[in-house]
Amino acid sequence: MPIKRVVAPQIDFSGLRRELGLPDEFPEAVLAEAAEAARDTSMPRADRGGIEFVTIDPASSRDLDQAMHLSRRSGGGYRVHYAIADVASYVRPGGPLEAESWVRGQTVYLPDGRVPLHPPVLSEDAVSLLPGGDRAAVVWTIDLDGDGETVAVGVERARVRSRAKLDYAGVQRQIDAGTAPEMLTLLPEIGGILARRAADRGAVNLPLPSQEVERGSDGWRLVLRAPLPVEEHNAQISLLTGMAAARIMLGAGIGLLRTMPSPKPEAVEKLRAAAGPLGIVWPDGARVGTVIAAVDPADPRGAAFLGQAAELLRGAAYTAFGVAAPVAPGRGGDSGSAVAGGRAGSGPAGRPEGGAEILGVPADAGHGGVGAPYAHVTAPLRRLADRYATEVCLAVTEGRAVPGWVVDALPRLPRAMSTTDRVAGAADRGAIDLAEAVLLQGRVGEVFEAAVLDRDEANGKRPAGGTIALDEPAVRAKCLGDLPLGERVPVRLTAADPVSRTVRFERA
């Protein structure tokens, strides 16, 4: 019997927007500055218009941060050209546009539309790497040997010209059909090499399908969308660039990293113990990332295993270093000073003026998911921190002092990004919770078949239960009862309330 798609004709997300305090519009002064910046036709002197860049994004996207060109090196190995939208050239330090970007922090995505970090006249037009015209960009040139080892890195401001706006599904079809041009055929080749290197160094990549609220011609529905292989390969190019940026900043002793503690041995052992009962093969000596990469997320037991593996990736943060720690509120402001290489604001013996504490390089500067030090630099149209980390890399590469406006921002960015990460996460989860409740209201009492993704043992404070997943609609929810991990069981819907955005089940 075919599964009937569950569709809601209307879902109102405006209450969620108000609850999270998401702004509706940009202030007039911000729009005026953005419009003026968009009219500025000056471009960097370096001309990289001869490089045939293309963008690969979701089909509907117009805020295009990255464009790439891949090629083989004559002596063997590969050359990656990665152009990143040059947001800093359009946002004046100290102006209303910069101030508003600190209020927003990042673009927040909701099913009925995005809340952008920058006005669309910039993010979806003048600064976006759309095809057919010259654009200002920060171009990363990364040379790899045949094994994917980075052998050279260059960073420069340059004008570029994208040749085509491609989408993931279209590129995947070309690659699968064998009709892709050579540049695109190199993407899975290089991406595969980089992914194997990542697994060898202990990186943990969870290939979990994304739960999305999608609008069609007949209304709203919940879907699970597994990432296409080309998306994973594309992500490897971004990770490669972020690791190169981290090395530059660590070498200079100043910058902003995206950090995450390495998985704790006891957590890995707990996951290993869960592998056997779920039928997951864990060969002797295999790294956790290698085991995870071989798991099928479409299989209920595989999905349950990946749900357990998510516990390994906790504690992500932004970590500034080489600058003065932020001054506590009420104690003289909130600025920072660089300490490396005689940069602006440093006092005697490399200490900042006033004797403030210096944020040193963290003891664990790595990112447990990446398996190496890593920085965000590839999405400045959508994420505030990338603009400032990129400026550090440019200054260090060019042998000049890091600009004072960047130095001042670095120690304040971890708190700002933490705040906006929470808002973006709440928006994403809130939209899905609302859609789940709307789609299931009126079906309380019905029995569904579900896969058990996680289980909680009963204790003095809570009954036994866990997390289950329905096939249609694609709901993830809490469920009471004795739940066998990785198995399929019948569950009964006991609550579906759009007002509280709550859905609950119990084992039938």
Q: Are 493 and 443 in contact (CB under 8 A)?
A: yes
Residue 68: the pLDDT is 98
Distance CA 467, CA 479 (A): 6
> DSSP class of residue 252?
H
- Residue 341 tokens, joined: 């290489």
b/e per residue 274-305 (b: at least 16 CB within 10 A): bbeebebebeeeebbbbbbbebebebbbbbbb
> DSSP class of residue 456?
E
Q: What is the dihedral of CA 161, 162, 163, 167, to 10 degrees?
A: 180
Low-confidence ranges of the chain (pLDDT < 50): 1-4, 330-355
In terms of Cβ atoms closer than 10 Å to its own Cβ (0-12, 13-18, 19+), residue 433 is: buried
Element (H, E) at 72: strand 66-72
- Count of beta carbons in the 10 Å neighbourhood of residue 117: 26
- Count of beta carbons in the 10 Å neighbourhood of residue 220: 21
Q: Is the peptide bond before 229 cis (omega within 30 degrees of 0)?
A: no
User: Residue 369 in 3-state DSSP?
Assistant: coil
Q: Are 202 and 261 in contact (CB under 8 A)?
A: no
> DSSP class of residue 461?
S
Cα 332 from chain centroid? 34
Q: Tell me which amino acid residue 320 is.
A: A
Q: What pLDDT, in 10s, does the model give residues 490-502?
A: 999 999 999 999 9
- Residue 412 tokens, joined: 């304040």
- 3-state SS record for 120-145: HHHHHHHCCCCECCEEEEEEEEEEEC
Distance CA 109, CA 129 (A): 20
Distance CA 251, CA 245 (A): 10
Residues 6+ apart with CB under 8 A from 68: 53, 54, 55, 56, 80, 81, 82, 83, 187, 234, 237
> DSSP class of residue 349?
G
Residue 328: the pLDDT is 54
Residue found by looking up tokens 């040997």 in the block: 145
List, in sequence order, every beta strand (DSSP E) within 442-485: 447-456, 465-470, 476-480
Residues 6+ apart with CB under 8 A from 468: 450, 451, 452, 453, 476, 477, 478, 479, 483, 489, 491, 505
- Residue 60 tokens, joined: 């509907």
Residue 435: the pLDDT is 94
Residue 3: the pLDDT is 43
Residue 348: the pLDDT is 28
Residue 349: the pLDDT is 28
CA atoms within 13 A on the CB side of 173: 5
Residue 5: the pLDDT is 59
Element (H, E) at 224: strand 219-225
- Residue 273 tokens, joined: 């113990």
Give the Å distances, CA to CA, from 273 to 2, 276, 305, 419. Answer: 37, 6, 11, 36
Distance CA 162, CA 136 (A): 11
DSSP, residue by residue, 353-364:
GGGPPEEPPPSS
